[in-house]
Chains A and B, each alone.
Chain A
Amino acid sequence: MARDRDDQDYLGPLRRIGIAALVLVLAASFLVWRIDSTRVERFRNAFIDRFVPTFDWAMVPVTKALGIVEGFQSYARIVAQNQELRRELQQMKAWKEAAVQLEQQNAKLLAQNQVRLDPKLTSVSGVVLADSGSPFRQSVLLNVGSRDGVVDGWATMDGLGLVGRISGVGRATSRVVLLTDSSSRIPVTIQPSGQHAILTGDNTPFPLLDFLEHPEQVRPGDRVISSGDGGVFPASLLVGQVLQGQDRRLRVRLSADYERLDFLRVLRSHPAEQLRDAGPLIPPAPAEVAAEGGNG
């Protein structure tokens, strides 16, 4: 639809020519850009170098304002950061408390480690040669024997708990009957109730507790240690923890790792001193009496 404006009559074709010229110029500039990119880019850079800095006067206040805003934001951030740091400090305090407690516990344990139960209680270490375990006999063979002074009846431990009792000593080997063997009977004490009992092996991984006076005082989880009754076994060796089996009988979960019996310590136990007489009044030694008499 042609416009019937008076100036449109000659402007129309003129305008069309102008548009065509613009199109040509633009297409040519695109082609030049595509063909001789580097030169056009150089021109572009030069142009931007000229053009953009002329905006400086306008940019300065804007950038300044942005800087101020950023400054305030950073203040807000500092406040938030401060609070976060406080929270973290609180947590750190809790952790520090925990660390102090752990350190104390560690120190206690270390101190306990220094305790020698009995100065006479030294040990010979041996390597398990053969594990002659069967459903009927639970025993292992050690590579220490009478050559090393091992005597029948001594206790053997692994790193943690009681494993068994020497039963049969050769020159270079000895047999250890494990606590789980059905012929094993060990006198034990249950802590903290102090009940005495006999640990009876029955060829299961969890030996039975027999001859308990007050089974109701014993709870699952109580510590079981050797009692030393009878003078054969050294006292207060860790045996395990009380466990109530599915048949409601009290058993012991052994502390020693029966799955991996590699090195065993054979504890040298010496026969306890026997008190033979009824205990008369003990007179002072004659030498002391003489010394006192000399003074007086």
Chain B
Amino acid sequence: MVDPLTTRRIAHRALYLGLALVVMFLRLLPVTPMSHGIPGPDLVLALTLAWVLRRPDYVPAWLIVGVFLLEDVMYWQPIGLWTLVVLGSTEFLRAREEATRDLNFLFEMALVAGVMAAMLVVNRMVLGLAVVEQPPLGLELLRLLMTLAAYPFVVALSALGFGLKRAALGELDAHGHRI
């Protein structure tokens, strides 16, 4: 019998993949509520960052890479670059997940905002170096703000809907390991 920890982990990974696919599917639908010049929030990114900061083991790097590569391919973005940036930032956050456990939510928001801004800057820098046409900066900034605004809701949904909480300091999992 599979132990409950692994079950939960697999279930949550599937949930993450499912949520990402649903968001992508909704974006693919012929109805775009925010098509009038205002870009919608990047919900998949917010979800990924939120989950990485809570349960990094639910969102392994390969899953993130898979989801974002799919997004790159689907949305006519430069293939691989945004995924690379996301991978870098999630690894950065993953390494600090334990250290940031006792931060309150405002600090977490600030951290996420800083990471997102850095992601945007790195992405645009590389694109600029590679002489690729870029979307207007204003739109991207607006999208970043929208994502930030959506972040608390994503966190709330994850916490209330899927029981995703930050592990307390020294919290143990079912096997007596530290999380």
Contacts and interface: CB of A to CB of B under 8 A. Distances in A.
Interface in A17-52: 18-19, 22-23, 25-30, 32-34, 40, 44, 47-48, 51-52
A30 B29 contact: no
A15 B130 CA distance: 30
Interface stretch (B74-82, B111-119, B136-144, B156-164): B74-82
B62 A18 contact: yes
Contacts, number: 70
Contact of B78 (A30, A48, A52, A63): A30
A74 to B, nearest CB: 15
Given A34-B132, A59-B29, A66-B30, A26 B61 contact: no
A62 interface: yes
B73 A44 contact: yes
A247 interface: no
Interface in A216-248: none
A33 B25 contact: no
Of B61, B73, B79, chain A has the most CB atoms within 10 Å of the CB of: B79
A48 B31 CA distance: 18
A5 B98 CA distance: 14
B83 interface: yes
Given A4-B178, A48-B73, A58-B25, A22 B61 contact: yes
B36 interface: no
Given A47-B73, A58-B25, A29 B79 contact: yes
A55 B25 contact: yes
A58 B89 CA distance: 33
A1 to B, nearest CB: 6
B122 to A, nearest CB: 12
A116 interface: no
Contact of B62 (A22, A34, A40, A63): A22
Contact of A51 (B31, B69, B74, B178): B74
Interface string B1-28: 0000000000000000000000001001
B30 A44 contact: no
Interface residues of B, number: 28
A214 interface: no
Contacts of B30: 63, 66
A26 B80 contact: yes
B163 to A, nearest CB: 22
A3 interface: yes
B146 to A, nearest CB: 23
Nearest to B85: A26
Contacts of B98: 1
A66 B81 CA distance: 35
A29 B80 contact: yes
B178 A33 contact: no
A286 B52 CA distance: 134
A60 to B, nearest CB: 11
A4 B170 CA distance: 12
Contacts of B29: 59, 62-63, 66
B65 A22 contact: yes
B78 A55 contact: no
Contacts of A29: 69, 79-80
Of A4, A22, A40, chain B has the most CB atoms within 10 Å of the CB of: A22
Given A47-B73, A55-B25, A3 B178 contact: yes
25 contacts: A3-B178, A4-B178, A5-B177, A5-B178, A15-B61, A19-B87, A22-B61, A22-B62, A22-B65, A23-B87, A26-B81, A27-B80, A29-B69, A30-B79, A30-B130, A33-B80, A44-B73, A44-B79, A48-B73, A58-B25, A59-B28, A62-B29, A63-B29, A63-B30, A66-B29
Given A26-B65, A34-B130, A55-B28, 4 more contacts: A18-B61, A22-B65, A25-B80, A29-B79
Interface of B: 25, 28-31, 61-62, 65, 69, 73-74, 76, 78-81, 83-84, 87-88, 91, 98-99, 126, 130, 132, 177-178
